[in-house]
Structure 1
Amino acid sequence: MTKQVQDAYIVAATRTPIGKAPRGMFKNVRPDDLLVRVLQNAVAQVPNLDPKLIEDAIIGCSFPEAEQGMNMARNAVVLAGLPNTIGGVTINRYCASGITAVAMAADRIRVGEADVMIAGGAESMSMVPMMGHHPSINGAVFKDENVGLAYGMGLTAEKVANQWKVSREEQDAFSLESHRRAIAAQQAGEFADEMTSVEIIERFPNLATGEIDIKSRTVSLDEGPRGDSSIEGLAKLKPVFAAKGSVTAGNSSQTSDGAGALIVVSEKILKQFNLTPLARFVSFSVRGVPPEIMGIGPKEAIPAACRAAGITQDQIDWFELNEAFAAQSLAVVKDLGLDPAKVNPMGGAIALGHPLGATGAIRSATVIHALRRKNLKYGMVTMCVGAGMGAAGIFERV
């Protein structure tokens, strides 16, 4: 029996602040605890909705091991105090894990297999480093035809910069603007609607008393944006991936910790519980590109997502283009002719941070709330993905 296609709506979208890794504010906070926090807040945002109707939680994570292993999704559901009837699955599409989780949750609803789903992502790069603790690479990736899979992310950014002729000066200017926009957005309170504050509890030995002192603080701002960033300072940084390259720590995304969560429902649930949707999930696309130039992936995924939505690229009012590197972001902007004013209006990963598998869910929360504040119609989350992919998802304000 063929199920009727129906729309999927976002009724809650939230995220933690993003901490700097490996020595930032969340260095001792487990990623599953960050996920628990956003799950609880997302559910609290729709008090009219019976949590027992949630069927499954799909959670993205780029390196699902150690503190974020053992099916973190299901564990977090239980630890969050949600009904035991809710399932959980942890998925991995590297940097696009979070947006893929949203798309998968929406698909379950759109084909009529579920009416309420949780989607999200969590990642601690402080606790689980890039490549994980015990990487084991298939030797076949070092063969000539596959060697692009063995390239580090920074080297792929250098190749994109060379092929698309993105200069060091352009990259540093893009980086500075990312910090400027992020600082301005923080000062204007633009992130408040999407943010779930996190209480950090720290324990210190008191040598005088022999006891443990406990201190707590609540954080509600991203840790990465720098008001003291300057062109002069960025220009002094040396390339880190190629001796005569242009990609530096200053024009690359920050390693980070964070989590995000969304609740996705059918139209039937909207009416039954009198819920106000934040947005409709419109379309999603993934496309592959040569692994050695993985950063250009969004240039293939963006047009595909627009075609699937039946709209043109010019109709997108807000692009959350994940800034893995300034080089690849600028290459995508140039290649597709994107309006720079529409791309990351509140800064991107260079300033705000990039907690890998969580980023897609985090930036989904950003664009959904931005569309409502600014009275815009269509927003997109898009990013390049390791091993040579691009992903893009479109949301519509309703």
Structure 2
Amino acid sequence: MHSAVIVQAKRTPIGKMNGMLRSWEAHQLAAPILQVLGSEVEGILDEVILGNVVGPGGNVARVAALEAGLPMSITGITLDRQCSAGLEAIRMACYFIQGGAGKCYIAGGVESTSTSPLPKRARFSPEKIGDPDMGVAAEYVAEKYGITKMEQDEYAQISFNRSWSAYDNGQFKQEIIPVAEKDHDEEFLRRRNIEALLKRAKPIFIKETGTVTAVNSCGINDGACAVVVMDEVLAKQHRYQPVLRFVDSSVSGVHPNFPGISPVQAIQSLLLKNSLTIADIDLFEINEAFASKIVACSQQLSIPLDKLNVSGGALTMGHPYGASGAILVTRLFYEVQRKQNIKYVVAAVGSGGGIGLAMLFEVIR
């Protein structure tokens, strides 16, 4: 079986809904990423695979590839697995390579919530089962697993501090391709007093007894991200430097009322299949849609916080749905190059409808 490796990863800055990227449609946001990555694999690229959740419909990946000026022979696939769509795109590319369907893909995701034509979200589940909005579902997770507001706020403070530290250290500059002369995430235009905001914030989804607030939840955002996935033999032939080697993945389904806990089962299954434990994984990236989700997952899996989202995440920088899974992999791509003695890393997302997706990578030195 062929081995799939990641040789490059880039993203746009992340903008707030109706913020600095408000006039950029989904295909326009993805195009600069495809243009840069496509130029690096000219002549060997097979296809573009992008996740997209609330976009205009149609094949955004193909439209973005054409917008980027890629050859018309380069086709596109657009998929929707809600918040894990960008991670699923990378997973699909890895399996295509393993199975011999192709040798080089650009895979990731894009979201322009600012230009979305959808008046509301799509259905996650039939009403007879329960179809809560993600914020309400985050409350259900907090209640079921006994996650207090204090625990959520403490994690949100940690994430905020880590994000700003990474920004101040210039870590995100490696990841970002500027768009519209914007070269950093909109959140970093102004440093908020997060401690004061956490203290003042009131529950917004279940007002009487809730614990989930606007401050310990992610924002709604615009952005794009993609990686280059390549057959390892081809990468070496063309003198690309592989950084992450795809090992395996796992998908889990849980009750749609508790989507935030779905990464737990996916990660457990993934590790069991590969005879690994939590202790064997050096870094975890789990999408920070809600602090209740991260606290619950870290407690259920016993993940030490010094291994989890070490440069912050969506609670500070935002959650452009279709792109977020790819952003996790991009973060790992650069984190492992800054650290020593890293062997295995995991990226995981819990999606609307109760679907968890986890991917395992081995670091190549």
Which residue is 2:28 aligned to? 33
**CA distance, structure 1, for counterparts of residue 135 and residue 120 of structure 2:** 21
**CA distance, structure 1, for counterparts of residue 246 and residue 123 of structure 2:** 36
Note the residue ranges of structure 2 that are not aligned, 5 or more in a row: none
Which residue is 1:204 aligned to? none
Mapped pair 1:320 → 2:285? yes
How much does 1:299 deviate? Answer: 0.6
Alignment of 1:257-272 (within 5 A): 257-272=222-237
**CA distance, structure 2, for counterparts of residue 14 and residue 156 of structure 1:** 31
Which residue is 1:390 aligned to? 356
Larger radius of gyration: 1
How much does 1:82 deviate? Answer: 1.1
**CA distance, structure 1, for counterparts of residue 299 and residue 306 of structure 2:** 13
How much does 1:351 deviate? Answer: 0.3
Alignment of 1:275-286 (within 5 A): 275-286=240-251
Letter in 2 for 1:240: I
How much does 1:134 deviate? Answer: 6.2
Alignment of 1:273-352 (within 5 A): 273-352=238-317
Which residue is 2:191 aligned to? 227
Alignment of 1:1-398 (within 5 A): 5-22=1-18, 24-44=19-39, 46=40, 49=41, 51-65=42-56, 69-128=57-116, 132-133=118-119, 141-143=126-128, 146-147=129-130, 150-198=131-179, 200=180, 218-225=181-188, 227-243=191-207, 244-375=209-340, 376-398=342-364
Letter in 2 for 1:126: S
Which residue is 1:210 aligned to? none
How much does 1:86 deviate? Answer: 1.0
SS, match of residue 147 in structure 2: coil
SS, match of residue 34 in structure 1: helix
**CA distance, structure 1, for counterparts of residue 123 and residue 229 of structure 2:** 36
**1:222-275 Cα deviation digits (max 9, x unpaired):** 122563333332121111110220101000011111001111111231232122
**CA distance, structure 1, for counterparts of residue 162 and residue 120 of structure 2:** 37
Q: Could you say if the C-alpha distance between residues 324 and 7 of structure 1 is closer, same or farther in structure 2, counting changes exceeding 3 Å?
A: same
Q: Could you say if the C-alpha distance between residues 135 and 238 of structure 1 is closer, same or farther in structure 2, counting changes exceeding 3 Å?
A: closer
Contact kept in structure 1, 2:79 and 2:89, CA below 8 Å: yes
**CA distance, structure 1, for counterparts of residue 313 and residue 122 of structure 2:** 31
Letter in 2 for 1:61: N
Letter in 2 for 1:37: P
Q: Could you say if the C-alpha distance between residues 230 and 116 of structure 1 is closer, same or farther in structure 2, counting changes exceeding 3 Å?
A: closer
SS, match of residue 384 in structure 1: strand
**CA distance, structure 1, for counterparts of residue 359 and residue 123 of structure 2:** 30
Superposed structure 1 runs of 4+ greater than 6 Å apart: none
Identical aligned residues as a percent = 37
Letter in 2 for 1:397: V
**CA distance, structure 1, for counterparts of residue 178 and residue 185 of structure 2:** 10
Q: Could you say if the C-alpha distance between residues 330 and 135 of structure 1 is closer, same or farther in structure 2, counting changes exceeding 3 Å?
A: closer
Letter in 1 for 2:348: T
**CA distance, structure 2, for counterparts of residue 55 and residue 344 of structure 1:** 32
Letter in 2 for 1:369: Y
How much does 1:43 deviate? Answer: 2.7
Contact kept in structure 2, 1:61 and 1:90, CA below 8 Å: yes
How much does 1:85 deviate? Answer: 1.2
SS, match of residue 115 in structure 2: coil
Q: Could you say if the C-alpha distance between residues 136 and 107 of structure 1 is closer, same or farther in structure 2, counting changes exceeding 3 Å?
A: closer
**CA distance, structure 2, for counterparts of residue 30 and residue 313 of structure 1:** 40
**CA distance, structure 1, for counterparts of residue 122 and residue 170 of structure 2:** 44
Contact kept in structure 2, 1:179 and 1:229, CA below 8 Å: no
**CA distance, structure 1, for counterparts of residue 22 and residue 361 of structure 2:** 32
**CA distance, structure 2, for counterparts of residue 52 and residue 124 of structure 1:** 29
**CA distance, structure 2, for counterparts of residue 100 and residue 26 of structure 1:** 25
**CA distance, structure 2, for counterparts of residue 381 and residue 255 of structure 1:** 21
**CA distance, structure 1, for counterparts of residue 244 and residue 193 of structure 2:** 35
**1:30-74 Cα deviation digits (max 9, x unpaired):** 221110011112234x3xx4x232111110011242xxx320101
Letter in 2 for 1:258: G
Contact kept in structure 2, 1:52 and 1:85, CA below 8 Å: no
